A and B are shown apart, each in its own frame.
Chain A
């Protein structure tokens, strides 16, 4: 054990520069008339997303011992505010994802999330682009909107929507050197995205990827693209091979939301992953009526890492998961 293990993982100058960037972000939203909100870190519902591992704890509440979930994103609570008539809101939230530790991952991280009632996904993606440019010190180069499908066509010569499952498994096997016989389409696409496509994104400027497979819609609406395929109305923004933000044309239908929660928990069961309590308050809020809106989550630590020309999240957070 080194005796300097108590030290912050980021240098004090970096912590000062980080504070400056956070002030820049708050000023950006305040000038644009968004309300800053704070929502609970602990909730009765957690994220059912099959690929997110939520942390939970037992708490003593007026109704006795209850399991509360550390939020993987402030989305559910913020949507309840929107349904209650908050208007455009933003939050710098602490969120938690179990097991995610690496150069660009930390179990606990800062997420900037904001919602724009009445805005289209394109409008919102332009605003994210503006914010990113505002926070970065240097010009990252031009912005490109590119379809998920075209990325796969260009990089791998396959159409992610129409290629056969065998073709996808072969390709994933070739790239990952991993047994893919039992894999789903999305498993294969996720591997190819992570290992082949992501590293190439955002190298000449800011890349905004749109029109994801509908199976990867998460909490976004689905629509038909120009080729007639059902796609998720989502975007992700990349810079320097790093995913910075994830935006949705938000799902509004309570029934559909409930069905997706249930499907997630079924999929979790099949993978021997623990069941997560779905947020019935969100379903009720959607029933009451949430205004049509676009929303986005942005990894603040990653953006600050790029803005300060660092290569590792540890260098821009006071204490990383390794020495917290």
Chain B
């Protein structure tokens, strides 16, 4: 990969720092009246999701990171790895490990498209769509007519996720859920 100098840093640029691929979030150029100039850089470590704040002397360089975000469909899990397939017609498959899947296992549904972040052609993270439709597989029986008082109960969905739903929801219903907050949005 090419090296990037601090004056090429901009939001979205992917670089290597301390051995991990990072996404530049913000880059600020600072310079005392006379003297050495610096760049204050905020970077998101793509392996851990953590945001780092680092200072560089202006003109220093970082190696670019071969990172790509690609749309892929979830296929199946073989007990160890999770398999995805490119949706560009190539049918090319990628296997993601537990680390790449992280907390998103509970949002994985077959034939749904996810954004897979590849580093050196290996999946390092999986981003589910913001909203996903999932079937309720387990919940207390629905209470007819009890739609007004705003009570809620837990419901287990087909992917294993548990969300709070209104009391009138029954097993077998398909719900729309916000994957960012884990909140019930409505009936699908």
Residues of A within 8 A of B (CB): 49, 51, 99-103, 105, 175-178, 186-187, 189-191, 193-195, 198, 216, 218, 236, 243, 246
Contacts and interface: CB of A to CB of B under 8 A. Distances in A.
Contacts of B7: 99, 101
Contacts of B28: 102-103
Interface string B34-77: 11111010000000000011111111000000000000000000
Given A177-B54, A178-B54, A243 B40 contact: no
B53 A194 contact: no
Given A99-B7, A177-B54, A187-B57, A193 B35 contact: yes
A175 B38 CA distance: 13
B33 interface: yes
A103 B31 CA distance: 11
Nearest to B52: A177
Contact of B56 (A100, A105, A178, A216): A178
Contacts, number: 66
Contacts of B31: 51, 100, 105, 194
A195 B38 contact: yes
B89 interface: no
30 contacts: A49-B34, A51-B31, A51-B35, A99-B59, A100-B31, A100-B37, A101-B7, A101-B29, A102-B30, A103-B28, A105-B29, A175-B55, A176-B38, A176-B54, A176-B55, A177-B55, A178-B57, A186-B35, A190-B32, A190-B36, A191-B36, A191-B38, A194-B38, A195-B40, A198-B30, A198-B32, A216-B34, A236-B33, A243-B33, A246-B33
Nearest to A243: B33
